[in-house]
Chain A
Amino acid sequence: QSVLTQAPSASGTPGQRVTISCSGSNSNIGSNYVHWYQQLPGTAPKLLIYRNNQRPSGVPDRFSGSKSGTSASLAISGLRSEDEADYYCAAWDDSLSTVVFGGGTKLTVL
Chain B
Amino acid sequence: QVQLQESGPGLVKPSETLSLTCTVSGGSISSNYWTWIRQPPGKGLEWIGHIYYSGSANYNPSLTSRVTISVDTSKNQFSLKVTSVTAADTAVYYCATGPSGSYSHYWGQGTLVTVSS
Chain A positions near chain B (C-beta within 8 angstroms): 2, 32-33, 35, 37, 43-47, 50-51, 56, 88, 90-92, 96-104
Contacts and interface: CB of A to CB of B under 8 A. Distances in A.
B26 interface: no
A50 B103 contact: yes
A97 B61 CA distance: 8
Interface in B59-112: 59-61, 94, 98, 100-105, 107-110
Contact of A92 (B94, B102, B104, B105): B102
Given A44-B110, A47-B105, A90-B102, A101 B45 contact: yes
B16 interface: no
Interface of B: 37, 44-47, 49-50, 58-61, 94, 98, 100-105, 107-110
A103 B104 contact: no
A91 B61 CA distance: 15
Given A98-B47, A99-B102, A100-B47, 17 more contacts: A35-B103, A37-B45, A43-B109, A44-B94, A44-B107, A44-B110, A45-B45, A45-B107, A47-B98, A88-B45, A90-B47, A92-B102, A96-B61, A97-B58, A98-B49, A98-B61, A99-B101
Contact of A101 (B46, B49, B98, B105): B46
A88 B44 contact: yes
A103 B105 CA distance: 20
